[in-house]
Amino acid sequence: MEATVLNSGDTAWMLASTALVLLMTPGLAFFYGGMVRTKSVLNMMMMSMVTIGIVSILWVIYGFELAFGYKGNSPWFGSFSLSGLGSQVNAFTNNGGVYPIPLLVFAAFQLMFAIITPALISGAIADRTKFTAWAIFVAIWTTIVYFPVAHWVFAFGNKVGDKTTGTGYLAGKGLEDFAGGTAVHINAGAAGLALAIILGKRVGWRKEAMRPHSLPLVLLGSGLLWFGWFGFNAGSALAANGLAGLAFMNTQVATAGALIGWILVEKIRNGHATSLGAASGAVAGLVAITPACAFVAPWAAVVIGFIAGILCSLAVGMKYKFGFDDSLDVVGVHLVGGIWGSLAIGFFGTHIVNSVGIDGLFYGGGSALLGKQALGVGMVAGYSFIVTLILGFIIEKTIGFRIPRDAEIEGIDLSEHAETAYEMTSSSRGGSF
Amino acid sequence: MKLITAILKPFKLDDVKNALQAHGINGMTVSEASGFGRQKGHTEVYRGAEYTVDLVPKVRLEVLVDDSEANSVVDVIVKAASTGSIGDGKVWTTPVDQIVRVRTGERGVDAI
């Protein structure tokens, strides 16, 4: 057997991609922060920031091993190990085969996915969540939901010769999820729905106006997300190759299609194309193409994105019908967009663009792939929703998940962080120690 | 002595200010205000959810004048502020008992 030689081009691209994916979480903080009211923007952004802190530490201690370790040889979770990533500095990545990039680079890349997934949930429970309760939730949820689900979907096992150990359940079943439509977006969307139900509605929901306080911040955030998403999707090729190029192009054109789809719905339905609609449409397109980006042709990516824009712009109205306060539409954008993108592979998937890809319905491959995709969607959504509901209920009954009503009305920035985001008038300046 | 208070459309502030300066008025106070009259508000749409915003942005302009000038100054403001459409605002006067200039301590008409 030939010895693996490090590929510096691949490694350089993966290091860059890793930094791109990290940037998505501060980008998300802007995207969400602009959508809430003046009195809760700092709390909204802090929910993302603290996630970077917590998940990074857990990842080093046991998270990476629990998600990607193969020694446990289980389809449901990785290895229980407290190695602290200390013994693997010179190892190569082996995930269903050897990649000529250092294992630590792969571990850092996957860490960024583990960070943004819980951060995405925070949009469902804006303006009202006790900060310590959120921090505890993030630590436990990441451990019992994200790490195992990442193993099901992303762990292709340690392959030596013809023998592969520790392959995740859905990866082994042939689920096609290139960058995390199930493990990231459906996972976060289903958890967001569960928490919105546990925490209940904000004071004044559907009675008073809860307008986004800064649409320029939302647009800035969507731009950073779009930029970082090239690392998320094209980086998931784990190499600087043609597959990365395909994922890169599909990411761009699906997002463009969704942006147009969303504002088209608005123009026809409400009479105006809005900036919030353009930003939301872009994110819906990014979500939908995430699982499909390396399995479909670019023309199909446009169609998948365009339909995602239309579908998600209609889905965000569901919360009013069903009466749950998913404040920033984590369900309407990430759950719905993630389900659509994951199922769309069952129609548009083709081996023509990816040698390991399977043909979907439109390419004469029958419904077998669609069935595998549906299994992945159902398992991840079901597991995430039920476990989050139980975890949320326990936190609510023990330490409490919500801040007091008066604090919520006065503003969570002040009550939870002792800060205000903006100096609104000249008369509010000054003060003394 | 009278206090003239005018509620104006924000984009007419410069016209009114220039007309007052041309009329010889060399002091005024302007603050941002919001409110509604017959104009009512407007509708905004966020992700398909429609909000009625009934408080519309306005500016409040205040000028202190001698009794004899009050009517002509009100006329200057009304002429400069008018667009003929709904929402142009209102102007009213209020009697003032006393005025003191902080720097010199001058009182009454001398302090205007």
Query: What is the token pair recorded at A110?
Result: 């996957």
CA distances from A330 to A115, A122, A184, A186 (A): 16, 8, 12, 10
pTM, whole model, 2 decimals?
0.91
Instruction: Give the H/E segment covering residue A80.
Output: none
Which CATH code for domain B2-111?
A: 3.30.70.120
Q: What sign has the CA pseudo-torsion A164, A371, A76, A179? A: positive
CB proximity list for A61: less than 8 A, separation 6 or greater: A82, A84
Which one of B47, B54, B55 makes the best mutation probe of the A interface by having the most chain A beta carbons within 10 Å? B47
Cβ distance of B48 and A270 shorter than 8 Å: yes
Q: How far is A341 from chain B (nearest CA, A)?
A: 21
Query: What is the token pair recorded at A424?
Result: 């609104």
ipTM score assigned to the predicted complex:
0.81
The answer to whether A313 faces chain B, any CB pair under 8 Å, is: yes
Which one of A270, A280, A311 makes the best mutation probe of the B interface by having the most chain B beta carbons within 10 Å? A270
| Dist CA A121 CA A185 (whole Å) | 9
Q: How far is A287 from chain B (nearest CA, A)?
A: 17
Q: How far is B56 from chain A (nearest CA, A)?
A: 14
- What would the pLDDT profile of B19-35 be if each residue is shown by its tens digit? 999 999 989 999 999 98
Side-chain half-sphere CA neighbours of A20 within 13 A? 20
Instruction: Return the residue of B nearest to A268 by Cα.
Output: B48
Instruction: Give the H/E segment covering residue A301.
Output: helix A298-315
Instruction: Return the residue of A nearest to B44 by Cα.
Output: A211
Q: How far is B66 from chain A (nearest CA, A)?
A: 30
A27 near A115, Cβ under 8 Å?
Answer: no
What is the structure's pLDDT at A427?
64
Please name which of A250, A243, A253 lies closest in space to residue A353, comparing C-alpha atoms. A243
Which residue segments constitute the domains of chain A, with CATH numbers given? 8-419 (1.10.3430.10)
Cβ distance of B53 and A209 shorter than 8 Å: yes
What is the structure's pLDDT at A431?
67
The answer to whether A323 faces chain B, any CB pair under 8 Å, is: no
Give the bridge partners for A114, in sequence order. none
Cβ distance of B45 and A329 shorter than 8 Å: no
Amino acid at A298: P
What is the structure's pLDDT at B89?
93
Instruction: Return the residue of B nearest to A213 by Cα.
Output: B46
The answer to whether A211 faces chain B, any CB pair under 8 Å, is: yes
A189 near A338, Cβ under 8 Å?
Answer: yes
Q: How far is A51 from chain B (nearest CA, A)?
A: 27
Instruction: Return the residue of B nearest to A312 by Cα.
Output: B47
Sheet with B89-95, edge to edge strand ranges: B29-35, B56-65, B2-8, B89-95
The answer to whether A327 faces chain B, any CB pair under 8 Å, is: no
Cβ distance of A272 and B45 shorter than 8 Å: yes
Mean pLDDT of each 10-residue bin along chain A, 433 residues long: 85 98 98 97 98 98 95 93 80 94 96 98 98 98 98 95 94 96 98 98 91 97 98 98 98 98 96 97 98 98 98 95 96 98 97 94 94 98 98 98 96 96 72 70
Cβ distance of A316 and B53 shorter than 8 Å: no
Chain A environment of B49 (Cβ under 8 Å):
317, 320
Please name which of A64, A120, A157 lies closest in space to residue A332, comparing C-alpha atoms. A120
What is the structure's pLDDT at A2?
62
What is the structure's pLDDT at A89?
75
- The SS3 call for residue A340 is helix
The answer to whether B49 faces chain A, any CB pair under 8 Å, is: yes
| Dist CA A342 CA A175 (whole Å) | 9
Cβ distance of A269 and B49 shorter than 8 Å: no
Number of CB atoms found within 10 A of residue B38's CB: 6
The answer to whether B47 faces chain A, any CB pair under 8 Å, is: yes
Number of CB atoms found within 10 A of residue B45's CB: 16
The answer to whether A241 faces chain B, any CB pair under 8 Å, is: no
Chain A environment of B47 (Cβ under 8 Å):
276-277, 280, 313, 316, 329
Cβ distance of A276 and B44 shorter than 8 Å: no
Question: Between A209, A211, A269, which is nearest B48 by CB?
Answer: A269
Q: How far is A29 from chain B (nearest CA, A)?
A: 19
Cβ distance of B47 and A211 shorter than 8 Å: no
Question: Between A270, A316, A320, which is nearest B45 by CB?
Answer: A270
The answer to whether A326 faces chain B, any CB pair under 8 Å, is: no
| Dist CA A356 CA A131 (whole Å) | 44
Chain A environment of B46 (Cβ under 8 Å):
211-212, 274, 276
| Dist CA A79 CA A70 (whole Å) | 6
What is the structure's pLDDT at B48?
86
The answer to whether A274 faces chain B, any CB pair under 8 Å, is: yes
- Phi and psi dihedrals of A317, rounded to 5? -80, -10
The answer to whether A206 faces chain B, any CB pair under 8 Å, is: no
Q: How far is B72 from chain A (nearest CA, A)?
A: 34
| Dist CA A258 CA A253 (whole Å) | 9
